[in-house]
Structure 1
Amino acid sequence: MTIGLGALALMELGILGAGDMVAPTAQDVSWVDEIVVTGSRTTETHTVVPTGTIASMPDAAGLVARIPGGALVNNGGLSGQVQYRGLYGDRVLVRINGQRFHTGGPNSMDPPLHYAPMLLINSLGVDRGVSPVRNGPGLAGGVNARLKQADFAQGEVLQPYYDLGLSYRAVDDSYGMGGVVGLSNQYSRINLLASREEGGDTRLAGGKLKGTRYDRTLYGLSGGLKGRLGELGLDLRRQETGPSGNLPFAMDIVWFDADFGKLTYQSPEQGLYRLEATLGFNDIDHGMNNYGLRQGPTMTSMKRLSLASAKTRTADLRVVRGRSEQYIAAGFDFEQADKNVLITNPDVAGFFFASLPDVDMSRYGGHVEWRGALSRIQSEMGLRLDHHEISAGVVLPGDAVPVGPRGLASLFNAEQRQWSGQTVDVVSRFWLDMGNFTPRLTLARKTRVPNAVERFAWMPTEASGGLADGNNYVGDLKLKPETAWIIEGGLDWSSSRAYARPTIYYRRIDGYIQGVPYDDTPGVIDTPVERVSAMSDDTTPLRFANVDAELWGVDLDFGAALTQRLRLDGVAAYVRGKRRDRDDNLYRMAPPNVRLKATWQERAWSVGGEVVAVASQDRVSHVNGEQSSAGYALFNLSGDWQLRPGVRLEAGVENIFDKAYRDHLSGRNRTVQPDVALGEKLPGAGRGAYITVRFHPSI
């Protein structure tokens, strides 16, 4: 839909005049907020951001902050996590080209969008509110990053295709280059894709963050065939991440080596029935240490090199009867993953133990969906059933591992280290076309099973799935799945010159998983877990546990054409999270925020000024020792210039006034720094310019 920043971007691309708002109609109502990273002249009804965005942020997770309800958890240049309406981590189902997979790091140093370089992203879709049952289980709205590719062309003659970009960012002296080149006609398509990015230490307002460099390379190919029997597609990619800093974590990335593959089939569109099938795999190999990019520990016995791996296999089969506006569908999907984490001391051969030993996870699921009309009310309804199995192997610590951890390993080995169970998801969506006014309602029951760290982390370490709060955590073999009951209401309104899309929502979550004190006497070291945790200077370890929670909030995007050349667009969000089982707030909720941008558009160029205002956050979790944060406002400037047909330049300056600030969702510094103290919340980047040049035949 041409809504929110989408209308703004179409203005920037010269498609719309200041008075040419595109009003949504009933059939235009979409349940996906889609961010299209493009500089092409297009009339597609999507939310669009300029290609300069690929230089202003290396981490694709930052794009989600532009969506109503979205926020970024910045754990490093390439390790940002998505937060959506207060939910984060694997509660948000994040996919690449529709492919689900498990990440390699126990601390989510490689959240899914780590494998989607900005240079190669074509679009980023975010399910509004909740994800439909066909995408799989997941507590929050899903995210799907689609990479660039050469699509099927018209005619029988092979036509060349290219989409290339170069970028530079001053705040960390980084560069990026990459894109897609290929050939296609109406029957076949093939392209190569590649990108290379390298960045240095991030500059602050009055200082620098040492050890924040990053390094990432991706290459692969994509191809497809189309004929009377249907369409076949193949995607293969290899990504190699080199040494990259993660200051909120106890370790930094040494490497991520990852291979992805996906084979798809879709039957011909003519006919009453349509078959869709997908096979996918990914293998991730990971190394991290606490002495490469940062000052290592003074005691040799505290040096750590951790080795992790994750392998995922997926299969999907779906049959659809009908068309996009009226259909019934049924599908089956399968997902199996193996994960291992081995902690070692590179200088002591006998020091090693598996903090996650041979974890095997599998899920078998089926769903049915119906889309149609109930009188004038349009609706989409879905039911999903899943069977889950998860197990862990035996821990065999090395001879040099101290007696305390060896004792915990023995206790873990004596437990029942497997779980199986079922989950049920239900999603119902309703909307009514009333001209320029479209009310909508969502009712849903969504679930999430505990991940490997939450269930099987027997050794108290800082592995927490990316919380990066300095606490030691252990898992709980008896954890139950999270179950969310959701109601969401909103409306889409537009006129010839203005629009607004407010949404209000409420989630009641039974069994919400978060850290709680390990026992009833925190600070009193009277258990084996607390004694081992105290060896690493944390006398109050946390245990993942089921609690009862609720979240509610409101978000919206809006805009108006002020003159023929000037328009204003914005996004605002507020979320509140509380525990229902005790008087405390939920941990790590994004503070209220608003983003406003004014754009002046000429035929060959445009310029825009943006303000991002973030309120203070004092509704924090006291149980988790969370500290409040101050509010701040940042000012940004951007512009673009059509140099010639097929060549576009975009540039800007972020944090123009070099404001010193600390985002509430940022972690705490774990390294020796000249400008940031140990344990202090990490500051945001200082003033920095960026520039991008894109080469594409349609711009």
Structure 2
Amino acid sequence: LALAAALACALPAWAQHPSPDDTLSEVEVRERTAPGAATVLDGAALQGQRAASDDTARLLADIPGVSLYGAGGLSSLPALRGLADDRVRILIDGVDTIASCPNHMNSPLSSLDPSQVARVAVYAGIAPVSAGGDAIAGSVVVESAPPQFASAESGPLVQGEAGATWRSHGGRSAHLSASYATESLHLSVGTAQAESDNVRAGGAFKTGTATGRAGHALALDEIGSTAYDTRNHHLKLTYQGSGHLLEAQVQVQDMPLQLYPNQRMDLLDNQMARFSLRYQGQTTWGQVQAQLYRETVDHFMDFGADKRYWYGAASMQPGSSDGQPCAPAGSATCAAGMPMRTASQTTGARLQAEVERGPDQRLRLGAELQRYRLNDLWPASGGGMSPGTFENIDQGRRDRLGLFAEWEARLAPQWQLLLGLRADHVRLDAGTVQGYNPAGGGNQGRDAAAFNALDRQRSHTHWDWSAQARHQASPTLDLAFGLARQTRSPSLYQAYPWSTWPMAALMNNFVGDGNGYIGNPDLTPETAHTLSTTFDWHTADRRHGLQVTPYLTQVSGYIDAVQWNSASNSARTTPLVGQFTTLRYANQSARLQGVDVAGHTDLGRNAWGRWQLKGRLSHTRGSNRSTGDGLYQIMPLNAQLALTHQVGGWTGTAEWVLVAAKDRVSRVRNEVRTPGYGLLHLRGSYRWPRVRLDFGVENLFDRLYALPQGGAYLGQGSTMMASGTPWGVAVPGAGRTFYAGVNLSF
């Protein structure tokens, strides 16, 4: 922060730009129409989505090019044009976030409630270097509400909001926030809570009701392990004066429960604390921004209520699911669940200066630093999981230093240009490990010894660049062009899980396909070259418009997987088909190509109100160029059409969602094919000056359908064993769901 203040006061004279006067205006955030502009959601665009779900990622669902990997009820993962999870950079109030779990159950967007989101910007495919780095899919930038200060005439400003939502599957949520502000100080505090029972599908999708627990069964249409319970709190203190703004923020999450229908484990406790200190200064030559942050996560997993808890010598045999505790409990032949604990600390800093050279040129210079530490340990629980602690990742370290420069210019009234260059240095390392028992099953001793003998430190240097241009060809046609190189190093969970023991490998899976995964310390970075073009046709008044964006991404070093033989510790020569298996991460080559289409038309405005038709269509094809296989969890051709009616405070929407059958799948993962489907949703809202009412029904006709990106159904049964749950069942979508929500502002 001291460096930022010094930079604001002492930038060399060549960067100064004359100003009509020497006074400094108040700090402001300005939207720019730039070649690298993001798709932005705020205000009313977010309000209607908040009532439909407690999952913050669902706020992005209507953006062309965005789809959602299914996970827990709060933790969907956004995929940008076929690339998801760690390949997407997610910033929350400037904090660069990382999932600290072998199943990525604490995904970044699950750390805040939808009611706490005021603005979302999505850079799909190509992100400017100032918003990218160590990611190849693009970026998602989430901001909470900006501070509002009182005027000298009005006196202190007191504001707040309270809201509650009900859903027919047992979902309930509530939030409360309040703020107090003077001319120079702003204090805001807020809390939100959400919980839900299991969701039901639109019909029977499975053949068994057993959960592996005596006396506990699930109906054939009940989607096991979809319940959750979470609380999110925040406190923000902001000071402004003389063109400077300083903000301190604390965010805390207490999540005692989130069950997962496509994972073999469940989240049974997650504690997150995040502290951030941000500075923004306005000068005669531009702006300077600085930020420091610290985030800690304590995460615990085991089997939830819908999954088998007791495992013993007899009960670990395939087909045994009586759910009775083995005896004697806690003995060498009896295991009480499988506790898994993860702890992480992330420390980061960012400094950026934006120099304005007149109204038509801006230069951004920045530096970023992130320090990440991870311990992933599995305490002994008896049976084959004893007597010691299994160290999945011990003393994991991932450090990143990034530098970037970005030039934005209007070369002519019809041409804008954005050029950027970025360098990142990433360093990974991990400590020595041990299994439950060096002499135990699954070659624990062999694999630990081989891993410990390795030089585990890896260093990668990324050189990224982007070139984007926007051209106004005519009053009714805008063109945008983008070409970029973007690079990402492997995560700790891709590099360092070391055990080939199938049971241990099954616990390392953040893609929800039911398979087990083994890390590979020799993975090299993924390097993506992306080309995209947008054709934007519209009327002069923009009441009618159509945007078409074809794109192509080539990825060298794409981190995919190969089937692995645990006994020989080598790649399988004959792949297993139609069953869950064990895989090891490997660098290969990939290509993703597709098109995003979005359009809107104003159907008319009369005494009955305003009628508008909006639609979008997305198609992505992903191929592994090394093997000819399909890429995993690529969303098939899908479209959405919405008819909206507005009059006074009323807004009503009828929305049709159409998804094609998913026939092209990842064969190496034995990915399940899914049939096509169509859904109808109805939504309504009415707004008074200080009250907003939202209500609706999703999946009006109660269709039974499978989620193309929902993964394999593992929501119940003996999930610790690969053969303990049936292969070939995809996670279904929710059946007919009614919801209603109310918000009161004061």
SS at match of 2:258: coil
CA distance in 2, matches of 1:291, 1:201: 12
Quote the residue 2:517 is aligned against: 473
Amino acid at match of 1:275: V
Deviates more, 1:281-290 or 1:98-107: 98-107
1:33 aligns with 2:34: no
SS at match of 1:63: helix
* Post-superposition offset of 1:216: 0.5
Quote the residue 1:438 is aligned against: 478
1:414 aligns with 2:427: no
CA distance in 2, matches of 1:233, 1:31: 25
1:558 aligns with 2:572: no
CA distance in 1, matches of 2:555, 2:310: 41
CA distance in 2, matches of 1:466, 1:116: 20
Mapped contact 2:396–2:492 kept (Cα < 8 A): yes
* Post-superposition offset of 1:540: 4.3
* Post-superposition offset of 1:188: 1.7
Distance 1:529 1:288, change over 3 A: farther
SS at match of 2:671: coil
Correspondence list, 1:284-433, <5 A: 284-299=297-312, 300-301=334-335, 303-322=337-356, 325-347=360-382, 350-375=387-412, 376-399=414-437, 402-403=440-441, 404-433=443-472
* Post-superposition offset of 1:148: 3.1
Q: Which residue, out of 182, 186, 199, partners 1:202?
A: 199
Percent identity, aligned pairs only, is: 27
Quote the residue 1:450 is aligned against: 490
Deviates more, 1:567-576 or 1:396-405: 396-405
CA distance in 1, matches of 2:518, 2:35: 44
Runs (5+) with no aligned partner, structure 2: 1-30, 204-220, 313-333, 719-723
Question: Could you say what the CA RMSD is over the residues aligned between the two structures, in angstroms?
Answer: 2.5
* Post-superposition offset of 1:168: 0.9
Mapped contact 1:648–1:695 kept (Cα < 8 A): yes
Q: Which residue, out of 613, 619, 624, partners 2:669?
A: 624
Quote the residue 2:171 is aligned against: 174
* Post-superposition offset of 1:57: 1.4
* Post-superposition offset of 1:134: 1.3
Amino acid at match of 1:208: E
CA distance in 2, matches of 1:145, 1:541: 36
Quote the residue 2:120 is aligned against: 124
1:515 aligns with 2:513: no
Mapped contact 1:350–1:401 kept (Cα < 8 A): no
* Post-superposition offset of 1:400: 7.7
Amino acid at match of 1:226: Q
Quote the residue 1:115 is aligned against: 111
Quote the residue 1:684 is aligned against: 733
Q: What's the CA shift string for 1:308-347, capped at 9, x where partnerless? A: 0111000011122107752112111100000111123334
Q: Which residue, out of 295, 299, 303, partners 1:282?
A: 295
1:253 aligns with 2:267: yes
Quote the residue 2:744 is aligned against: 695
Mapped contact 1:209–1:673 kept (Cα < 8 A): no
Correspondence list, 1:229-268, <5 A: 230-267=244-281
CA distance in 1, matches of 2:579, 2:730: 18
SS at match of 2:130: helix
Distance 1:28 1:104, change over 3 A: closer
1:70 aligns with 2:96: no
CA distance in 2, matches of 1:227, 1:82: 38
Mapped contact 1:471–1:541 kept (Cα < 8 A): yes
CA distance in 2, matches of 1:146, 1:528: 46
Amino acid at match of 2:526: E
Deviates more, 1:320-329 or 1:495-504: 320-329
Total equivalences in the alignment: 651
CA distance in 1, matches of 2:636, 2:580: 30
Q: What's the CA shift string for 1:531-575, capped at 9, x where partnerless? A: xxx9xx988421101101111100021110112122101121000
Mapped contact 2:36–2:418 kept (Cα < 8 A): no
Mapped contact 2:656–2:681 kept (Cα < 8 A): yes
SS at match of 2:506: coil
Quote the residue 2:548 is aligned against: 502
Q: What's the CA shift string for 1:110-139, capped at 9, x where partnerless? A: 110011211221122101431211123310
Quote the residue 1:640 is aligned against: 685
Quote the residue 1:488 is aligned against: 532
Distance 1:152 1:427, change over 3 A: farther
SS at match of 2:257: coil
CA distance in 2, matches of 1:486, 1:469: 27
CA distance in 2, matches of 1:695, 1:123: 19
Quote the residue 1:101 is aligned against: 97
Distance 1:26 1:424, change over 3 A: closer
Amino acid at match of 1:185: T
* Post-superposition offset of 1:71: 0.5
Mapped contact 1:472–1:538 kept (Cα < 8 A): no
CA distance in 1, matches of 2:725, 2:498: 31
* Post-superposition offset of 1:622: 1.8
Amino acid at match of 1:575: T
Mapped contact 1:295–1:672 kept (Cα < 8 A): yes
* Post-superposition offset of 1:374: 3.1
CA distance in 1, matches of 2:580, 2:40: 45
* Post-superposition offset of 1:651: 0.3
* Post-superposition offset of 1:26: 9.4
Mapped contact 1:352–1:401 kept (Cα < 8 A): no
Distance 1:34 1:465, change over 3 A: farther
Mapped contact 2:617–2:638 kept (Cα < 8 A): yes
CA distance in 1, matches of 2:32, 2:581: 54
Mapped contact 1:672–1:678 kept (Cα < 8 A): no
Distance 1:394 1:673, change over 3 A: closer
CA distance in 2, matches of 1:145, 1:293: 34
Distance 1:554 1:538, change over 3 A: closer
Amino acid at match of 2:481: L
CA distance in 2, matches of 1:196, 1:430: 44
Quote the residue 1:146 is aligned against: 143
CA distance in 2, matches of 1:372, 1:149: 28
SS at match of 1:345: coil
Q: TM-score, normalised by structure 1?
A: 0.89
CA distance in 2, matches of 1:615, 1:344: 44
* Post-superposition offset of 1:166: 1.1
CA distance in 1, matches of 2:178, 2:692: 18
Correspondence list, 1:593-672, <5 A: 593-642=638-687, 644-672=688-716
Mapped contact 2:51–2:694 kept (Cα < 8 A): no
Mapped contact 1:179–1:194 kept (Cα < 8 A): yes
Amino acid at match of 2:123: D
Q: What's the CA shift string for 1:178-237, capped at 9, x where partnerless? A: 132101233221100110111111122232123321010011201211111611011101
CA distance in 1, matches of 2:712, 2:120: 29
Quote the residue 1:21 is aligned against: none
* Post-superposition offset of 1:416: 1.0
Between structure 1 and structure 2, the one with the greater Rg is: 2
Distance 1:511 1:539, change over 3 A: same
SS at match of 1:243: strand
